Amino acid sequence: MNYPDSVRFLYSLGNEVKTAKYGLERIQTLLGALGSPQQLPRIVHVAGTNGKGSTCAMIESGLRAAGLCTGLFTSPHLVEPTERVRINGSPVSAEEFSAAFDRVHACAEQLLDQGAIDFHPTYFETVTAMAFVLFQQKRTEAVVLEVGLGGRLDATNVVHPELCVITPVDFDHEALLGKSLEAIAREKAGILKPGVPAVFAAQRREAQAALDGRVAELGIDVVRAQQAWRIENVTYTARGSAFRAQATIPVRIECPLAGTHQAANAIVAVAALHKLGVSGAHIEKGIAATRWPGRLDCVSASPEIILDGAHNPAGARALADYIRQFYDGRDIVMIYGAMRDKAVAEMAGSLFPLVGEVIATAPRQSRAVDPETIRALAEHPRVHTAPDLGASLEIARAGPRDRVIFISGSLFLVGEALALLNG
């Protein structure tokens, strides 16, 4: 198939969250038939609720700065599915993506004919297998692999990594992962393996207890990043942070990702890179060069437009902290759209009181919350609705030139904004 056809087929498999089939048997059978491309030289496996994509990006950038040929697998994509599979920091080409799809799809069809698997691999399983095929073909020397959902039964959990990383665990996808932080953390801890060291971000008490329980069962070595690394001279701006971190070596970090939470993610990346044997100079260079679009991402200066895919309560709290810290007293309008399976009322309660105007809209997704529903949830005196992002931007841009426009609530909406604003 060509690239558009391969993308259409992947989308026909259904939403990657709603159609997720927990269990590793299908992906293991598929990868075995493909020649076990997941058996790569060095893998860093990263789970968590918030910050795992940013942390993956920083770790990959540090490994690349050290001279390694790197692979990075993340989800979801913002504009094009090719973004999910990166080689040396760049998305694979459309041709490479479709060729990998053809190989995986043909193998899946053969396994179906043989009765070796029960149905075609899901969207996420298919793209995960494609990523392994591409990493093997490109002879990557180190791969950073982001968990899609949970950890224990996620399709990525078929690897034997060199290092496991768990970023902050919080509430999200409770219907699949559990209703308590302990249950969710136990799912995330499913990536931990005997003999494989781990790096943990600072955790809420209930999550930490669950992670510690799994660590005790496995007897593995754990670096608790915020405890192991002493942080000094921290400065924050609206576009990033800078600080000195000290453990067995000192490093001076210039983090180009905005938000105090990104400084915390950077410490986890520092701890992971140090554990992997990356030098202080390469850690510094790699983190400073990190790019991770759509997260507190200023994409326009006049008017100032900031994108942030805050799609769960923890993400909304981080965005709220950022607004209070850097935009208090400014004229702010927030374009907001979300998915039905999200805690919209809780997120709106964190964000809407901080802005002067809300424009409720809907991403182009069947699971999007109707804008009128958002309006009904919003206890705010100035809430408009708009059918789509384009109409929302017209309303927002009609205001004063010095106002700040935030676009948030869903990574789908942020992806649409990137595509629209980039022409």
CATH of the domain at 194: 3.40.1190.10
pLDDT value at position 311? 83
If asked whether residues 273 and 417 sit together in one domain, one would say no
If asked whether residues 332 and 243 sit together in one domain, one would say no
If asked whether residues 158 and 87 sit together in one domain, one would say yes
pLDDT value at position 177? 79
Q: Which of 269, 288, 307 is the last residue of a domain?
A: 288
Q: Which of 243, 264, 288 is the last residue of a domain?
A: 288
If asked whether residues 61 and 195 sit together in one domain, one would say yes
pLDDT value at position 366? 86
If asked whether residues 246 and 324 sit together in one domain, one would say no
pLDDT value at position 17? 59
pLDDT value at position 153? 93
Q: What is the CA radius of gyration of the chain?
A: 21
For strands 250-255 and 240-246, give the pairing: antiparallel
If asked whether residues 73 and 177 sit together in one domain, one would say yes
294 vs 411: CA distance, rounded Å = 8
146 vs 420: CA distance, rounded Å = 27
pLDDT digit string, tens, across residues 182-232: 999 999 999 999 999 999 999 999 999 999 999 999 999 999 999 999 999
pLDDT digit string, tens, across residues 140-190: 999 999 999 999 999 999 999 999 999 999 887 666 777 799 999 999 999
pLDDT value at position 136? 98
Q: Which of 237, 253, 288 is the last residue of a domain?
A: 288
**Please, are residues 181 and 147 in contact by the beta-carbon 8 Å criterion?**
no
pLDDT value at position 18? 55
Tokens 């393996």 identify what position? Answer: 193
If asked whether residues 262 and 404 sit together in one domain, one would say no
CATH number at residue 365: 3.90.190.20
Within 10 A of 138 (CB to CB), how many other CB atoms are there? 17
Among the listed residues 252, 295, 276, 273, the one whose alpha carbon sits nearest the alpha carbon of residue 58: 273
CA distances from 197 to 31, 54, 114, 186 (A): 25, 21, 39, 17
If asked whether residues 232 and 281 sit together in one domain, one would say yes
pLDDT value at position 6? 97
pLDDT value at position 19? 53
Instruction: Report how many domains make up the chain.
Output: 2
For strands 70-73 and 43-47, give the pairing: unpaired
pLDDT digit string, tens, across residues 105-134: 999 999 999 999 999 999 999 999 999 999
If asked whether residues 82 and 129 sit together in one domain, one would say yes
If asked whether residues 320 and 269 sit together in one domain, one would say no
Give the domain extent around 272: 3-288
323 vs 408: CA distance, rounded Å = 12
Q: What is the DSSP letter of 339?
A: B
pLDDT value at position 174? 61
Ranges under pLDDT 70 in the chain: 15-22, 173-175, 423
If asked whether residues 65 and 198 sit together in one domain, one would say yes
